[in-house]
Amino acid sequence: MWGVFFHSLVPEEKSQRVASYISNFRSEVDVITHSCGVLEPRQLQRMDVRIRQANGRSLPQKGMLDETQQGENVQDNT
């Protein structure tokens, strides 16, 4: 059974799909980067990111990470 599965994979087709995925991903990152007012993705900072919660509200990522890190530090000290 496994032999049949592996024979059906065509690396040339997969490589095209992966290349297309990467190209689309980069385009989306460029849109986000431009929307945040920076020239390239590495200029993005934690304060530029907001995380949408299940209740529809969004919180800044910076605040969420700070709370998580503080909680981890408290747990590490006990």
1 and 36 together in one domain? yes
CB environment 27-37: b (16+ within 10 A), e (fewer): eeeeeebeeee
Domain that holds residue 21: 1-44
Q: Which pLDDT value is given to residue 76?
A: 41
Residues 27 and 64 in one domain: no
Q: Using CA atoms, how far apart are residues 7 and 11, in angstroms rounded to an integer? A: 10
Q: Are residues 12 and 39 in the same domain?
A: yes
Q: Is 26 helix (H, G, I), strand (E, B) or coil?
A: helix
Q: What is the pLDDT of residues 29-41, one digit of tens each?
A: 999 999 989 999 9
**Number of domains comprising the chain:** 2
5 with 35, same domain: the answer is yes
Has this prediction a pTM greater than 0.85?
no
Closest by Cα among 50, 49, 48, 30 to 40: 30
